[in-house]
Structure 1
Amino acid sequence: MGLEEDFFMADADDEKTVEFIKNYLPQELKEKFVDDELYYFIDLIDEYYAESGILDAQPDDDGYVNIDLEEVVAYIVKEAKSDGQGEYDPEEILFVVQGEMEYGNSLGQVD
């Protein structure tokens, strides 16, 4: 598969992830975040996974890798503020992170 095809597949997956997250969010948050913000959060989640060492972690005896969602949320809130994207409520961002994780679960990527 070529590099260009990889980008198109990643873009299509991000679109599906954003749609899943929008459906996952509680009603009061559905209109709060625009798509561009959700794409930004997905990028930060991916960045956190890459930089935190989670992707290289050894699974436990049951085959699971423990991901502390509150650490992911704290990373997003901190990076968004330092990137000048604004200040976000960690409790609201937690729903986005949970939605992204549930999407991965629905694909069998995460248990």
Structure 2
Amino acid sequence: MANIDDELLADAEENAREVEFIKNQLSFELKEKFSDEDYYYMLDKILDYYYNSGVLDQEPDKEGFVDIDLDKVAEYVCQKAKEDNHGEFDPQDVFFVVQADMDFEEQSISE
């Protein structure tokens, strides 16, 4: 059984891989708009949205998928960033981060 330090280290490594994956999916101009801290913040808020919006409680369709409105996720991230005084993000820019995050998650599931 792994101890808490091992689990935290594994989570941190997974988050770092995810941020690098996302940055590799974005255009140069877009990737330069955000710091690594911004990416980690956005990942945290994306997870918050999934857990608090009820989207994870939806019944999957016949193919086993749940419909997630990425625009709503991006808007949520932008709203929370403003509320938390983390900065003001453009929802159109954040949309591409949310989309890349979804791609990362789908890739991780299929591995």
Give the TM-score normalised by the residue count of structure 2: 0.91
SS at match of 1:79: helix
Matched residue count? 109
> Over residues 18-73 of structure 1, what are the superposed CA-to-partner deviations in whole Å (9 max), with x where a residue is unaligned?
00011011121121111010000000001111111222222111100011101101
Task: Give the deviation of 1:4 after TM superposition.
Answer: 2.7
SS at match of 2:109: coil
The equivalences for 1:1-111 within 5 A come to 1-108=2-109
Gapped runs of 5+ residues in structure 1? none
- Over the aligned positions, Cα root-mean-square deviation in angstroms equals 1.3
Gapped runs of 5+ residues in structure 2? none
4+ residue segments displaced more than 6 Å:
none
Give the TM-score normalised by the residue count of structure 1: 0.91
Question: Equivalent pairs: percent with the same residue?
Answer: 41
CA distance, structure 2, for counterparts of residue 84 and residue 75 of structure 1: 14
CA distance, structure 1, for counterparts of residue 75 and residue 95 of structure 2: 9
CA distance, structure 1, for counterparts of residue 34 and residue 80 of structure 2: 17
* AA aligned opposite 2:58: A
